[in-house]
Amino acid sequence: MYLSELFQKKKCLFSCEIFPPKKNSEIETVYRTISGLQQLHPDFISVTCGAGGSAVEDNLTVRIASHVKEKYGIEPLAHLTCVNTSRNNLEETIVFLKKNRIENVLALRGDRVDGNTATDFAYAAELISLIKRKGNFYIAAACYPEGHPESSNRTEEIRHLKEKVEAGASHLISQLFFNNENFYAFINEVHTAGVHVPIEAGIMPAVDKRLIEKIVSLCSATLPPKLSRILSRFEKHPSMLFEAGIDYATEQIIDLISSGVQGIHLYTMNNPVVAEKIIHNIGGLLMEVNGRRP
Ligand code: FAD
């Protein structure tokens, strides 16, 4: 099923992101995560891919996405990156996606390895055009409410975002953020630029201080003082930080849903308990906005 069907049926989707197991970990570890998420009935599950451009990694993403679909009956969204790899490898992966009946792809550039610019594809929009030419896929793309780290010019960045939509992206998933006001300002800018595809808000519950600080330093999301205080106060009390991080994310999501966001994309960190707690808190509200009784 194309994800467009879900957006037609529901006012606000709930989706989860998982990643393939790290080297040395068994693939079964991620299958256990998916099994935990299945009980929460996400609208779709997205599966990340490495930015190394290796066929082995891409195929692992496709295999896991296929498992999400065939074993658990949940629609998968397979991530695909285009830097650090060749056109041939990407074309083979697209064939493999089709063979595995994967219909939805999140087309990404990926981060350049060691600044390598000598690849067949420089930007995600080029990958979107390739996927469009090679088959009937539903294509999503990434967006950055607080700006992409490489971008110094907001107007240019929004123009490049529009190019991705014009190339064939039907929906955008945002980078994680902790300040909803920044997301709302971004949505306004995107609408003003004439981009009107659904935008899902990327939410990562801040349940692990070191992880959050590392991610924030990489993706240039800002930490609001309120969240910084929570992270410092409960740094040495993991269970309290867990509860406080879930509460903060819950508040963010309630505000986003109240403001009419079209989807919540939860960065689960492969921890189904995080997703379970969030759904426990907001599941009723989601049902309400989607016209079903909690
Ligand atoms: P692009 O859209 O190509 O943009 C990259 C930069 O180039 C931006 O600054 C943009 O403004 C600029 N730009 C675009 N077009 C042009 C142009 N024509 N001329 C000049 N500048 C231009 N990474 C992974 O490795 N694996 C994953 O699974 C993964 N999943 C992600 C999921 C989400 C929801 C998000 C938000 C990010 C994800 N990433 C993933 C990270 C992503 O690959 C990086 O942020 C990467 O640096 C940019 O990818 P992009 O697709 O947004 O690139």
Ligand 1 center–CA 109 separation, angstroms: 5
- Atom in ligand 1 nearest the alpha carbon of residue 219: 45
Q: Which of 148, 151, 154, 161 to mutate to test the pocket of ligand 1 (most atoms within 8 A of CB)?
A: 148
Averaged over successive runs of 10 residues, the pLDDT of the chain (294 residues) comes to 98 97 83 94 95 70 96 97 91 96 97 72 96 96 96 95 98 98 98 98 97 91 96 95 98 98 97 97 96 71
pLDDT for 52 = 66
Say if pTM beats, i.e. exceeds, 0.75: yes
Cα dihedral across residues 157, 161, 164, 166: positive or negative: negative
Q: Which of 251, 241, 255, 257 is nearest to 281 (CA)?
A: 251
pLDDT at residue 117, as a whole number: 61
State yes or no: is 17 an active-site residue: yes
Calculate how far, in angstroms, residue 210's C-alpha sits from the geometric centre of ligand 1.
Answer: 24
Distance (angstroms) between ligand 1 centre and the Cα of 141 equals 8
The per-residue pLDDT for range 224-255, each reduced to its tens digit, is: 999 999 999 999 999 999 999 999 999 999 99
- Helix, coil or strand: residue 78: strand
Burial 27-66 (b: 16+ CB within 10 A, else e): eeebbebbebbbebebbbbbbbbbbebeeebbbbbbebbb
pLDDT at 60: 92
Ligand 1 atom with least separation from CA of 141 = 51
Burial 259-282 (b: 16+ CB within 10 A, else e): eebbbbbbbbbbbbebbbbbbebb
Query: What's domain 3-289's architecture?
Result: Alpha-Beta Barrel (3.20)
3-state secondary structure of 123: coil
- Ligand 1 proximal residues by C-beta, below 6 Å: 48-49, 51, 79, 81, 108-111, 123-125, 142, 148, 150-151, 157, 160, 164, 173, 175, 202
Element (H, E) at 250: helix 238-258
Residue among 49, 123, 161, 220 to mutate when testing ligand 1 (max atoms within 8 A of CB): 123
Average confidence score pLDDT of the chain = 94
| Cα 283 to Cα 189: distance, rounded to the nearest angstrom | 30
Residue 16 Cα to ligand 1 middle (Å): 19
Neighbouring CB atoms inside 10 A of 22's CB total 9
Residue nearest to atom 29 of ligand 1 (CA): 48
For residue 18, the model assigns a pLDDT of 97
Measured CA to CA in angstroms, residue 213 lies from 132, 208, 228, 253 at distances of 37, 9, 10, 21
Distance of CA 144 to the CA centre of its chain: 11
The pLDDT assigned to 111 comes to 86
Nearest to 248 by CA among 258, 259, 256: 256
